[in-house]
């Protein structure tokens, strides 16, 4: 391939690598958010359990309300856990794709360097061949 074409492909590979890096960053942010939500839900459950265990007299309506809220919290915790699992899978996929894009870019950079060296050598060879002809024409 020509070095100019390889250079263009290398630019496209760099753009693809940047895109993959951004995908990885977003997946990591999603995981961090899910982990933060899990911590909030765990902290709330701990506070709810502590308030029930104090031994204070609590009305049935309050207990029912706390039970419903705790149940909703468990459901939310499960959903957040599933979100974290999906984010971890996305991170693994994004890392693999980023590594693949980086390898492709390195291959293209190597091929571009090789093509440029070949082009320079061919230009030098053409110049050397043209030199004796110019000398002949002068005579």
For residue 38, count other CB atoms closer than 10 A to its CB. 16
For residue 137, count other CB atoms closer than 10 A to its CB. 7
Do residues 95 and 24 touch, judged by C-beta distance below 8 A? yes
**Is the pLDDT confidence value at 59 over 90?**
no
Tens of pLDDT, residues 9-51: 989 999 999 999 999 999 999 999 989 988 888 887 787 777 7
Question: Which residue shows structure tokens 């590594």?
Answer: 99
* pTM score, whole prediction: 0.66
Looking at residue 43, what is its pLDDT? Answer: 84
Looking at residue 139, what is its pLDDT? Answer: 53
**Is the pLDDT confidence value at 116 over 70?**
yes
All domains of the chain in start order, with CATH: 7-109 (1.10.287.1700)
43 or 94: whose pLDDT is higher? Answer: 94
Looking at residue 56, what is its pLDDT? Answer: 66
* Angle of CA points 13, 14, 20, to nearest 5°: 90
- pLDDT category, 62, cuts 50, 70, 90? confident
Question: At 54, is the secondary structure helix, strand, or coil?
Answer: coil
Dihedral angle sign, alpha carbons of residues 90, 93, 99, 105: negative
Question: Residue 139 to residues 45, 128, 129: CA-CA distances in angstroms?
Answer: 100, 18, 17
Do residues 10 and 105 touch, judged by C-beta distance below 8 A? yes
107 or 137: whose pLDDT is higher? Answer: 107
């Amino acid at each position: 391939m020509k070095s100019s074409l390889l250079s263009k492909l290398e630019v496209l590979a760099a753009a693809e690598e940047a895109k993959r890096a951004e995908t990885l960053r977003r997946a990591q942010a999603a995981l961090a958010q899910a982990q933060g939500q899990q911590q909030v839900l765990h902290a709330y459950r701990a506070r709810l359990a502590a308030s029930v265990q104090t031994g204070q007299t609590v009305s049935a309506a309050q207990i029912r309300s706390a039970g419903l809220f705790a149940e909703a919290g468990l459901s939310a915790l499960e959903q957040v856990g599933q979100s974290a699992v999906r984010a971890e899978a996305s991170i693994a996929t994004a890392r693999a794709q980023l590594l693949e894009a980086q390898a492709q870019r390195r291959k293209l950079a190597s091929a571009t360097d090789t093509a440029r060296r070949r082009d320079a050598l061919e230009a030098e060879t053409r110049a050397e061949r043209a030199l004796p002809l110019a000398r002949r024409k002068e005579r």
